Amino acid sequence: MNASEMKLKEIENALFSSVPSEDFVAACEADPRAGVQKLAKRFRREQAERRRLDALYTYEYAARDEGARFVAGVDEAGRGPLAGPVVVAAAILPYGLFLPGLNDSKKVSPKKRELLYDEILEKAVAVRVSIVDAATIDRVNIYQATMNGMYEAILSLDPKPDKVLIDAVELAKLPMPSLSIIKGDAKSASIAAASIVAKVTRDRLMLKYDAEYPQYGFAQHKGYGTAQHIEALEKYGPSPIHRKSFEPVRSMVEGK
């Protein structure tokens, strides 16, 4: 292929619909046409992103090499807030699924999280979500509530995973092999996908609560203990979705 003799659309097809040679890509980069150079830069960016994402599947590929057909990633959102539920998600991705921008949900912009959420739900083998409300958190404690949610999300997956990758938490009672990975949402594609689903699901719930209890500002802080939130708590007292076992909510309830 001689890039200099090709039209822009032909070059685009050659770059993104096949496996171009390094010489062809270099020729595109050296082409005097700005449009061709732009396509070459886009190709380089996409290849770099593919390499980054391929590295995110290291744990999944290792499980596949051990014979696992389906690997699930599990993560939560909302362990720390003073209000609202903790949300757990479990996701099984096709091996090597290309999801540009996939990462730990905390490193992804809200707009990109929404886009990834839709793409994950569309392309994943399976996704399940478990929502544990504030009353349950108060009754069993946040750690146990999170583990209960993880068990529920994992065990409701269809198909059942052959191995489970979990962000930080160890789940000893699972019927299948599992691996706890510290900061797993930045090291495993499946856990990262679960973190996106959990975060978007919880943020959407907090927006609904904001409409129900507008005085607390849940749309802004999502229930975390910001200065704005504490000020509203002191003024209005706890709402039905506040975690009464968390400080300073606990002291406010006991004080009354």
3-state SS record for 18-75: CCCCHHHHHHHHHCCCHHHHHHHHHHHHHHHHHHHHHHHCHHHHHHHHCCCCCEEEEE
Contact 195, 104 (CB under 8 A): yes
Cα(214)–Cα(30) distance, integer angstroms = 57
Looking at domain 58-199, its CATH class is alpha beta
Q: Give ranges for CATH 3.30.420.10 in the chain.
A: 58-199
Cα(224)–Cα(53) distance, integer angstroms = 31
Q: What is the structure's pLDDT at 18?
A: 84
Residue 250, both tokens: 């606990």
Q: What is the structure's pLDDT at 155?
A: 98
Cα(146)–Cα(171) distance, integer angstroms = 11
Q: What is the structure's pLDDT at 256?
A: 63
Q: What is the DSSP string of 67-123?
A: T-S-EEEEEEE-SS-SBS-EEEEEEEPPTT---TT---GGGS-HHHHHHHHHHHHHH
Q: Is 237 left (phi over 0), alpha (psi -120 to 50) or beta?
A: left
Q: What is the DSSP string of 197-228?
A: HHHHHHHHHHHHHHHHSGGG-HHHHTT---HH
In the chain, what is the greatest distance between 2 CA atoms, to the nearest angstrom? Answer: 80
Which amino acid is residue 241, in one-letter code?
I
Q: What is the structure's pLDDT at 175?
A: 97
Q: What is the structure's pLDDT at 223?
A: 98
N-term to C-term CA, the chain: 79
Closest Cα to residue 128, out of 75, 183, 79, 84? 75
Per-residue pLDDT of the chain (256 residues; tens, 9 = 90+): 688 889 999 999 999 988 899 999 999 999 999 999 999 999 999 999 999 999 999 999 999 999 999 999 999 999 999 999 999 999 999 999 999 999 999 999 999 999 999 999 999 999 999 999 999 999 999 999 999 999 999 999 999 999 999 999 999 999 999 999 999 999 999 999 999 999 999 999 999 999 999 999 999 999 999 999 999 999 999 999 999 999 999 999 987 6
